[in-house]
Each structure stands twice: as structure tokens, then as C-alpha cells.
A and B are shown apart, each in its own frame.
Chain A
Amino acid sequence: QSVLTQPPSASGTPGQRVTISCSGSSSNIGSNYVYWYQQLPGTAPKLLIYRNDQRPSGVPDRFSGSKSGTSASLAISGLRSEDEADYYCAAWDDSLSGEVFGTGTKVTVL
């Protein structure tokens, strides 16, 4: 089962700002970097944020990540219809010696 907890859904109108939380523990988020992935319908996941707050080339600066203690968050500003997707946080877990994913959040653009 997922070790990192996310809200199942989030929504907003075009142009709004949406924030997704990711809650973990001292063995994962508390001691390692957080990553975020975007999965558009019917496609493979794509890296969105690495090392807590870094964007790979090609990812719009509308997407931003942050981390504090054992929690992290992803913000999408200037929401667009093409942002409708599932979003997952992830981190290495030292206790499990493995990567753990969040439960996933479905973002809907109203």
C-alpha cells in the first residue's frame, strides 16, 4: 500500500492556483528528496519536479514544489485544461529500502 498520503482529488477553474499536499514520515520525506510525477490519461507518468523543487527542462514554471519536514506540496498556478491529470509524489524510504509513491491526486479543471 502507499506510504505517502495525498488528497484523492483537487479542482479549479482555468487560471486558478491549485495545491496538492503529500504527507509522509521521517523515514521518507523527512530524510530524502521529494519528486512529483504527472500522468495524463492513458499515458505513462512523466517527471514533473525533482529534488523537492527543481523542474526538468520543458516543464512550465507554473508548476512548483516545496517541502517542509515530513510533508511536501505541489502547486499549479494559472491552471490550464491540459493540466487535467493524476499527480503522484514519491520519495525514497530508508526503512523500506525502496521508493514509495503517494496515493495520487486527480486534478480536474472545471
Chain B
Amino acid sequence: DQQVKQNSPSLSVQEGRISILNCDYTNSMFDYFLWYKKYPAEGPTFLISISSIKDKNEDGRFTVFLNKSAKHLSLHIVPSQPGDSAVYFCAASLTGANSKLTFGKGITLSVRP
């Protein structure tokens, strides 16, 4: 049973436009959510996170929105740049679960120049 779902395997956007990456989860006990970015042949790097007590967190061009009632979060990248082209993983955790993260399968973002 996949508890964190990234239903779209890929997304292509024009440079300068907004990229919106979506993530859904099923476990209402998750209390912390994270986004990771991964380039080919490299390890994932932490991008941004949000606690379940918030509905928005912003860091430069990256904003994560959380809708707990819909069990949905999204990552907005504005403006998108070609260097943002990568695989983006959504992850969730719950306090007390030995700090394990539950990952989605990832979305491949391509930003066209």
C-alpha cells in the first residue's frame, strides 16, 4: 500500500514559468513533509519541508503548500530554471517512527529553455 503518491511521473515547463509538483498521502498521522531533489548519478538533496501545523512554507523560489483536509501537498517553483530539471521526491514522516521517511516514486521535471 503506497502511502505517499506522486501520480504524475513527469512534468515539462517553459523556463520562467511556474512548476507545480503534486503529492498525495493517505496516512493522516504524518506530521512532517519534505521535498528532495535528485540529479542523475547523485544522491537526493533536501530542498524544503513543512510541518503539519502549517499550510505554507517558502524558501526563495520554492514554496510548499499543505492541505491537510485533502491530504495533499504541492511544491511550487517560481520562476523555473533549466537547472531545476531533476527528479523530485515527496516524503512524509511521523514522530516516533524511528525517523523513517516514506517516499513517493518521484516526478521528473524538465524545464525547457
Are A and B co-members of a single complex? no
